[in-house]
Amino acid sequence: MAGGGNAIRGSRVGAGPMGEAERGEAAPRQAVTYFCANEHRSVVTFSTEATTPDTWDCPKCGLPASLDSENPPPAPKIEPYKTHLAYVKERRSDQEAADILDEALELLRSRRKSGDIIF
């Protein structure tokens, strides 16, 4: 059926004129404003019975936000990515690394002399 049907668009079955009568009254709510270090202002709605948190993640930038507009929480310190080699260098001195390398090379050379096939 193309075109001129009598379907009501944008409405669901059973919805009244406002929909409020079927769903009941909305619970009492409170709007709480949070502020982040990037000066974003986020308004979050909670039930009046709910305990509002002291901090909230800013939906715009992801930084932590607080209720204090004058002193928003600082951005968390992010540790730079470390490679496996960086972690190894933290655990071993240069001398220890040289000793381990010499030991591994000596083992490989002895296996070669004995005829082992080394890939």
pLDDT at 115 over 80: yes
Residue 75 covered by a domain? no
Same domain for 35 and 61, yes or no, is yes
CATH of the domain at 45: 2.20.28.270
pLDDT of residue 75: 86
pLDDT at 104 over 70: yes
Q: Is the pTM of this model over 0.75?
A: no
Confidence of residue 118 (pLDDT cuts 50, 70, 90): confident
Residue 51 covered by a domain? yes
- Interior angle at CA 61, CA 59 and CA 64, nearest 5: 75
Provide the 10 A C-beta neighbour count for residue 72: 21
pLDDT at 105 over 90: yes
Query: Alpha-carbon distance 50 to 47, whole Å?
Result: 5
Residue 9 covered by a domain? no
% of the chain with per-residue pLDDT over 70? 80
Q: Residue 59 in 3-state DSSP?
A: coil
Query: Alpha-carbon distance 67 to 52, whole Å?
Result: 10
Q: Residue 61 in 3-state DSSP?
A: coil
Residue 93 covered by a domain? yes
pLDDT tens for residues 75-103?
888 888 999 989 988 999 999 999 999 99
The domain in which residue 109 lies consists of: 84-113
**Residues ≥6 apart with Cβ < 8 Å to 75:** 37, 63, 64
